[in-house]
Amino acid sequence: MGPGDLSRALASLPLQTDARLLVGSESFDDAGVFVLSDDMALVQTVDFFAPVVDDPYDFGRIAAANALSDVYAMGGEPLTALNIVGFPTSKLPIEVLTEILRGGHEMVRAAGALTVGGHTVVDEELKYGLAVTGRADPRRLLTNTGARVGDRLVLTKPLGSGLLTTAARSGNLDADLHRTMVEWMTRLNDVASRAALAVGARCATDVTGFGLLGHASHMARGSGVTLTIDVASVPLLPGARAAAERGVNTGGGGRNAEYLKPRVEWGGTDAIMRTILVDPQTSGGLLVAVPEPALDDYLSRVAGAVQIGAVAARAQVDIVLA
């Protein structure tokens, strides 16, 4: 669901107030955070979706990495995971589900967590994901409300997975590009998360369904700042720009663009890059607001991380593109 529709759906619901609830739904953050003690908090999230690649094993790995990322985006450590499955038993052999679950299980294990069960329903459309519980130190969280003027914005994975998976489903993606895409989508955000805490960062979000600019907008409004992004520095997956130039697009990208119209100063950004910047990502990287003195340290710790902008004082819009 796009950010605009989701905002309207939640608008009339009462906010929950409890001293133990450090992060709820009001800031559109990546996971909820509930305090258990002075040095321990639960981090909870859920994420599931229809297949983005054809291979069941890869789909399981990608979906699991995507769900685990929400815990990492809060500075947490995943502990347990529950499978969530909608499966069309009359359309697909059960071996497909076995491979999906195997891929998810292996990714959860790679994260140092345990798969402890789950829930399945018969559905007309295949869906898979995880509900994940993690832990974090409530005194050292990453949230999307902690950006400060002068911080540097760092993106830890390249953009373009939504466009490339769409191209792949139509049989219009080179095998090497597909392989590289899957490699990035199955890369956990654990190193990026731990490095952010280590260098003293307090603000991060993972870039998923709302696209880079959608999640950046939530960060800007939650933190009371404006984010400036150097479009030319934004890293892209190989083949992403070419896919956009061929006219590949997604429904989610269109919804994101509509939501962002009044929230972004687009400058001279061309139509192709606009498409990529609002492209819904699956298992994307972290967008981290890194204190300027710690920038080089952070970049040295996270392979593939790129500085793409900075945090400025609040202006009339959430994001300024340059």
Give me the long-range contacts of 177-180 (CB less than 8 A, separation at least 24).
177/237, 177/238, 177/239, 178/53, 180/237, 180/238
158 vs 251, which has greater pLDDT?
A: 158
Among 229, 219, 238, residue whose Cα is nearest residue 158 = 238
* pLDDT at 136 (0 to 100): 98
pLDDT value at 142 more than 70:
yes
Q: What is the third-level CATH fold of 152-321?
A: Phosphoribosyl-aminoimidazole Synthetase; Chain A, domain 2 (3.90.650)
Type of residue numbered 122: V
* pLDDT at 219 (0 to 100): 96
Predicted TM-score (pTM) of the model is 0.94
pLDDT value at 2 more than 80:
no
Percent of the chain surpassing pLDDT 70:
99
Among 245, 228, 218, residue whose Cα is nearest residue 321 = 228
* pLDDT at 27 (0 to 100): 65
pLDDT 10s digits, 269-280: 999 999 999 999
262: number of Cβ within 10 Å: 9
Q: Where in the chain is the domain with CATH 3.90.650.10?
A: 152-321
* pLDDT at 45 (0 to 100): 96
Task: For residues 11-22, give the mean pLDDT.
Answer: 81
Q: Where in the chain is the domain with CATH 3.30.1330.10?
A: 31-136
pLDDT 10s digits, 242-256: 999 999 989 999 999
User: What contacts 183, CB < 8 A, 6 or more positions away?
Assistant: none
CATH number of 31-136: 3.30.1330.10
Task: For residues 18-46, give the mean pLDDT.
Answer: 87
* pLDDT at 54 (0 to 100): 96
CA distance 58 to 46: 19
pLDDT 10s digits, 297-320: 999 999 999 999 999 999 999 999
CA distance 49 to 86: 9
* pLDDT at 7 (0 to 100): 74
User: What contacts 97, CB < 8 A, 6 or more positions away?
Assistant: 56, 85, 87
23 vs 233, which has greater pLDDT?
A: 233
pLDDT value at 160 more than 90:
yes
Token code pair at residue 19: 């001293």
DSSP E strand boundaries for 99-222: 114-122, 127-136, 152-155, 203-206
167: number of Cβ within 10 Å: 23
131: number of Cβ within 10 Å: 18
Percent of the chain surpassing pLDDT 90:
89
pLDDT value at 169 more than 70:
yes
pLDDT 10s digits, 74-124: 999 999 999 999 999 999 999 999 999 999 999 999 999 999 999 999 999
